[in-house]
Amino acid sequence: TAGSRRVPLLEAFRRALRDLRLAGSVQVTDVNMLSPAVLVADKAHLVPLSNDPAYVDHIETICRREQIGLLVPTIDDELPLFSQARDRFAGHGITVGVSSTFVTTLCNDKYATCVHLRGAGVAAAESFLVDTLPASRQFPLFVKPRFGRGSVGAFPANCARELSFFLEYVREPVIQEYLVGPEYTIDLFCDMESRPISAVPRERSVIRAGVIDRGRTVKDSALIDLALATAAALPFVGPC
């Protein structure tokens, strides 16, 4: 879904089919038929936005018509939708590469995710909502939307005045301790039974509009162990 600029991902699936000597095609959906992945996919389908009430129906119709065996959602916002519809797709022989409704819903909530991880003994930033923020505060703090992605609306607050402003400016804010140091993301891949297959840490060297532009993979056992601990606390399916 949402093929957009995901040409390397599309090509990776093509290589997998070729290497495994499997017949099949790699198809994409998008809201814009000029997207790069649309132009290189074996077949492309125009669909409404994921917030359209008929979105999942559109995807199901395409999958059944094209005899799709594996459906791969790629946008955070649509993961809960497809997790709720997993059994529905499975009834037509379609596997959906998505985690459970519990996991997809929780992970779209930054505050709930941190609370859950800390409760499971996994290191995560101490997090507060406006009404749970202690009176004694140690700056800097970090303010971000409780629900959101791409680093939109995320700001450091270095003093009480800045904190007060950002709590008004950011919609549904969550306040977190400010973590100092290099920024890493960890690519984790789990099988359909939520067993981790691979964990690859990457240092985010250059960030553009909240998305990594240049990075460096690192083999760091502490980061890999953190990913595995997270997977034990949250049974993921597929890539995350």
For the stretch 99-115, what's the b/e string if a residue is b when 16 or more beta carbons lie within 10 angstroms of its beta carbon?
A: bbbebbebbbebbebbb
Q: At what angle do helices 221-233 and 110-119 cross, to 10 degrees?
A: 100
Q: Are strands 173-177 and 211-217 parallel, antiparallel or unpaired?
A: unpaired
Confidence (pTM):
0.86
pLDDT, tens digit only, all 240 positions of the chain: 999 999 999 999 999 999 999 999 999 999 999 999 999 999 999 999 999 999 999 999 999 999 999 999 999 889 999 999 999 999 999 999 999 999 999 999 999 999 999 999 999 999 999 999 998 889 999 999 999 877 788 999 999 999 999 999 999 999 999 999 888 999 999 999 999 999 999 998 887 766 777 889 999 999 999 999 999 999 999 999
Determine the Cα–Cα distance for residues 105 and 146; give it in Å rounded to an integer: 12
